[in-house]
Amino acid sequence: MIRLGVLASGGGTNLQALLDACAARRVDAEVALVLSNLPGAGALERASRAGVAGDCLPSKGVTDRAAYDAAVVERLATARVDLVCLAGYMRLVTPGFLRAFGPTAASRGCPRVVNIHPALLPAFPGLHGPRQALAAGVKVAGCTVHFVDEGTDTGPVIAQAAVPVLDGDTEDSLAARILEQEHRLYPQAIQWIAEGRLSLHGRTVRLDRPGAPAERLRSPSIEVA
């Protein structure tokens, strides 16, 4: 069982999906620490209700990003976190943070920081993925779980789930439909990591299926049971 550190800035619905999946033993992991940069974040309330340790390091007014991230890393290390999961965390992490959770032999070359993003990357990185999708007039939108690198939503893709863009969709209606898929996809990706089934080859993430050779995640839409 691996120990997760979840960083969240908002209400924490993806955190809740992870908490529920861990409690139901659908993910061989436990959330060891929830840390937010915003006092009063809903994610901290969810952690408290679940009996999970929560912490807040306010980021307002912070100018030394490296020192701030060093403090975050210290708290994660104290909680003996194996994998860091960004869940609506509205800060870019620094190179020092990424080095602290870099690849190990046990992670098969994979970084140990992951993120969920409400768009089919590399399209529509950054803020307001559903809004960007609607503005671009695409017919398919979705979400992406990816490893985190020094760019903005530029890390290697682990898995994606697609949803149709419907006539009459608003930003809110599209975002809600994407969010349903986020709640399904993120726990599945974490389970693959917990099982040691992912490996990184350049920018290609491969999934080892039981009894089969490693294969590339080819589908733009991963159906999650």
Task: Give catalytic residue positions.
Answer: 117
End-to-end CA distance of the chain: 20
**Measured distance CA(167)–CA(217) in Å, rounded:** 30
Could you tell me if 86 and 111 are in contact, meaning their C-beta atoms sit under 8 angstroms apart? Answer: no
**Measured distance CA(115)–CA(88) in Å, rounded:** 8
Strand intervals (E) in the chain: 2-7, 29-36, 54-56, 83-86, 113-117, 140-147, 157-164, 198-201, 204-208, 214-216
Cα–Cα distances (Å) from 40 to 35, 37, 76, 83, in that order, read 11, 9, 20, 24
Q: For residue 28, give the nearest of 159, 184, 192, 147 by alpha carbon.
A: 192
**Measured distance CA(12)–CA(5) in Å, rounded:** 13
**Measured distance CA(190)–CA(212) in Å, rounded:** 20
